[in-house]
Amino acid sequence: MTTESAAAAARTTVYGYPRQGPNRELKKAIEGYWKGRVTADELRSTAAGLRAGNWRQLAEAGIDEVPTGDFSHYDHVLDTTVMVGAVPDRHRDAVAADPLDGYFAMARGTKDVAPLEMTKWFDTNYHYLVPELGPETVFVADSAKQVAEFEEAVALGLTARPVLVGPVTYLLLAKPAPGVAADFEPLTLLDRLLPVYAEILADLRAAGAQWVQLDEPALVQDRTPAELNAAERAYRELGVLTDRPKLLVASYFDRLGEALPVLAKAPVEGLALDFTESAAANLDALAAVGGLPGKRLVAGVVTGRNIWVNDLSKSLATLGTLLGLADRVDVSASCSLLHVPLDASAERDIEPQILRWLAFAQQKTREIVTLAKGLAQGTDTIAAELAANRADLASRAASPVTRNPDVRARAAAVTEADARRSQPYAERAAAQRAHLGLPLLPTTTIGSFPQTGELRTARADLRAGRIDTGGYEERIKAEIQEVISFQEKAGLDVLVHGEAERNDMVQYFAEQLTGYLATQHGWVQSYGTRYVRPPILAGDISRPVPMTVRWTSYAQSLTSRPVKGMLTGPVTMLAWSFVRDDQPRAETARQVALALRDEVNDLEVDGTSVIQVDEPALRETLPLRAADHAAYLAWATEAFRLTTAGVRPDTQIHTHMCYAEFGDVVQAIDDLDADVITLEAARSHMQVARELASHGYPREAGPGVYDIHSPRVPSAGEAAELLRTGLRAIPAERLWVNPDCGLKTRGWPETRASLENLVTAARTVRGELSPS
């Protein structure tokens, strides 16, 4: 096929789209269903309307082939677990009795049954529910959701392509089920799983699907020869099936590396590859394997993970190079648009010129369509769009918003000594024990307390002018008083002020730092019905005035027990923002660290003896390839130390991490040089405690004993048993007792009961360690 005919054949598609709706209608419907205010039929109707709206929006923008099956009530990996019949035994009765309630029980748990574990989706801030598999797992095909949603799109007169999590990635994301040996490898179930995928593919073909996309992002990570052989076998066996649609195998988030030759040779009809900056090596690698003769290539040239406008000329050059490497080149985003907000044009508070630098999901679809038109019909047909794009890129590069000479000079003057505490940990620990006087197994929480409807109403009333600042602050003071009073009565040792004044752990700080932009409608799904509005890190960062000192000081005035100062760390401030892409992240992280260092020092001067700097994103931002780890961890850990190293030895520095696999960053956790770290551990049954012990971690740690992402109230006995498990790995003089994460999303009744049980468990185990 000539390059001219390949260009003429260029079509447009995306791999997925934001699920929530323009006003988070899906969140409201699901939470209404949980509370009994919305029926199951009403929930399904809302979801169907949102799907149809998404597809129409894509088609009207010029997208030729819309995705189906990417929409989910909670999580697409959980949908896959249902699709292949891998429901855990403890949830089977609930799923059989009511599939919708059983589905949500797997996600959230019930009073009596624990949910599936949740962790980060590769290096994003999206969370998926981890499949639980074992040698006895029996897979059974259930294609009902996938077929129904495909038929919905076809009924609208659209060309649709079902999107499924691929079999290799599904198994590589899974973990051994409870009671199964820890060394069990779910990938050994591949031969059992492939016939189920074959049945689902046949069902989709019978429904009229011409193409099906199988997502295999796990193959962009470092893979063993055995894992690559499994991928080769999987796509050889699926490829030779006769009763199936054409197969498009998709990868994203990084370069395919050694998996590219495997997939290029597989008997499938197409590959979808990421060609954005993080995966630019795919271009040379594709040429090295001789391209994809006779196959379809879907080229992800518009980033699906950040919100800056595309450099259209650069993307067109990449697409032009690709024309000679495949039978057909189509244009797409680099991954699902699930990871970006819906529509930048809804943002009324961002300066119009700056708004032109931004592209959310709707704007990205237009970029994709523009690129395909330029590829197929020539750049003369998009001359106006290219000129406008060049002007927008130049405007951003020259804007004073993006560069502050004073900030850059301060960052350039940082020395190694600035990121080093004045005394080693052993000396600091002794000073802190003398200063704080805490008991064995000290109890604390992670920071936030329930954000009640009354708090949200007060915040909305302030924005709308229905109450003034004084009235709002009195409401915040009353909430802090309640939080401090409860913690004292419950018997917690190190208290928090509850963060009543904070809308979000990143956004709250971003709104007070120069260089950040805030959105009003930039919602992105984190997990289930939890949506966040990542701020936009657009320019150089500084802190004009203290951000947290006032409320921390007020809380401390209400109690004689220590109250933690609570900050979000520099890596998380980057990871949970849409970060600038015009300079290395290490430079941006150093700027944020210096701004936070000023806040830490001010807290200490004001009398705060315990300061927590949360870094839950340290692990999730870890590059997917091991070769890239060292460089990232060097600047990430330096940024944390730069934030915290200026305090006295008797000031105790805490950090917190949650919902990630920590084993491969234990050395980095050590390198942070925090005095105390608290981590998620309840769902994983204290796995991280064992990992810290294996590493020889020398500092204090609090592996969580209360899973805050479930409405379940853990009993005192359950929490005590987790503590005893933790004590087998961490000595009592270094073990803290705490929940997995902040309590913002929980209600007060379950929070009170759970924390009272947590304190009871700590006292029980203290008594066992020091019997009277």
Tokens of 583: 């300079």
The H-or-E segment that residue 139 falls in is none
DSSP conformational letter for 659: S
Q: CA 11 to CA 299: how far, in whole Å?
A: 10
Q: What is the DSSP secondary structure assignment for residue 678, as one 8-state letter?
A: E
H helices of 557-686, in order, are: 570-575, 585-605, 617-620, 629-644, 666-671
CA geometry: angle at 171 spanning 167 and 177, to 5°? 140
Residue bearing tokens 């009871």: 760
Give the residue ranges of DSSP H helices in 174-298: 190-206, 225-239, 259-265, 281-288
Q: Retrieve residue 500's tokens.
A: 């009543």
Q: Give the span between the Cα atoms of 127 and 187, in whole angstroms.
A: 21
As given in the structure block, the two tokens for residue 13 are 């598609």
Q: How many CB atoms lie within 10 A of CB 468?
A: 10
Q: Return d(Cα 121, Cα 110) in angstroms, integer.
A: 24
CB 506 within 8 A of CB 535: yes
What is the Cα–Cα distance from 210 to 495, expressed in whole angstroms?
Answer: 59
Phi then psi dihedrals of residue 694, to 5 deg: -60, -35
How far apart CA 139 and CA 269 sit, in angstroms, is 26
Choose, from 73, 127, 497, 709, the residue flagged as catalytic.
709
Of 233, 103, 50, 248, the closest CA to residue 163 belongs to 248
Alpha-carbon distance of 312 to 15, in angstroms, equals 20
Q: Reduce the secondary structure of 356-409 to three states and give it as a string.
A: CCECCHHHHHHHHHHHHHHHHHCHHHHHHHHHHHHHHHHHHHHCCCCCCHHHHH
- Residue 709 known to be catalytic: yes
Decide if 337 contacts 304 (C-beta within 8 A): yes
Give Cα 220 distance to the centre of its chain: 18
CA angle 673/674/679 to nearest 5° reads: 120
366 contacts 358 by C-beta, under 8 angstroms = no
Please state, in angstroms and rounded to a whole number, the distance separating the CA atoms of residues 769 and 403: 57
The DSSP annotation for 71-112 comes to --SS-HHHHHHHHTT---HHHHHHHHH-HHHHHHHHHH--SS
The DSSP result for 519-582, as a single string, is: -SS--EEEETTEEE---EEEEEEE-SS-SSHHHHHHHHTT-SS-BEEEEE-HHHHHHTSEE-SS
With CA atoms as reference, report the closest residue to 383 among 391, 375, 374, 394. 374
Alpha helices for 606-732 (secondary structure H): 617-620, 629-644, 666-671, 687-695, 716-727
Strand order of the β-sheet with 270-274 is 66-68, 160-165, 211-215, 246-250, 270-274, 292-302, 326-333
For residue 478, how far is the Cα from the chain centroid?
A: 33
Residue 169 CA to residue 183 CA, distance in Å, equals 18
Which amino acid is residue 632, in one-letter code? Y
Catalytic residues: 709
